[in-house]
Amino acid sequence: MNRFKTLKFYLLSIAVLTGTAVAQPTPPHDVFGQITDNGEAAEGITVEAEVNGDIVDSDTTDSNGDYQVRIPYQDSTYNLIVDGTEERSGVQIESGMSENYDKEGDY
C-alpha cells in the first residue's frame, strides 16, 4: 500500500511539473495603433509587420483607423510598413511586449 502511494505521488509530481512547463508559452509582441489622415480616421489602410524580409502579420484599419499586428518571434527586430511605406525600421522587441504606434499621414 505504501509503494502505491509513493508511485502515485511521483506520477502526480511529473504531471504537475510537465503541465507547468507547457502552461507558460511565450506570448507574441503586439503592435497596435490608429492611422489618421488630416485628423480623421483612415479606413482601409494596410499595416504590415516584417521580420527578416518576410511579412509575418498584416491588418487593415477599421472605420476608426485602428489596427493590430502580432510578431510571433522572441527578441528580434521588425519593420512596420504602413500603406506600402516603411514607417519604422529595425525596431528591437522583446517577446510579450505591447507597443502603441499611431501614425498621422496623407492617405
Mean pLDDT of the chain, nearest integer: 80
Grid coordinates representing 27? 506570448
* Spans in the chain with pLDDT lower than 50: 7, 15, 17-25
Give the Cα separation of 99 and 70 in Å (integer).
10
Residue that the C-alpha cell 483607423 belongs to: 65
pLDDT in tens, 29-52: 899 999 999 999 999 999 999 999
CB 65 within 8 A of CB 43: yes
What pLDDT was estimated at residue 35? 95
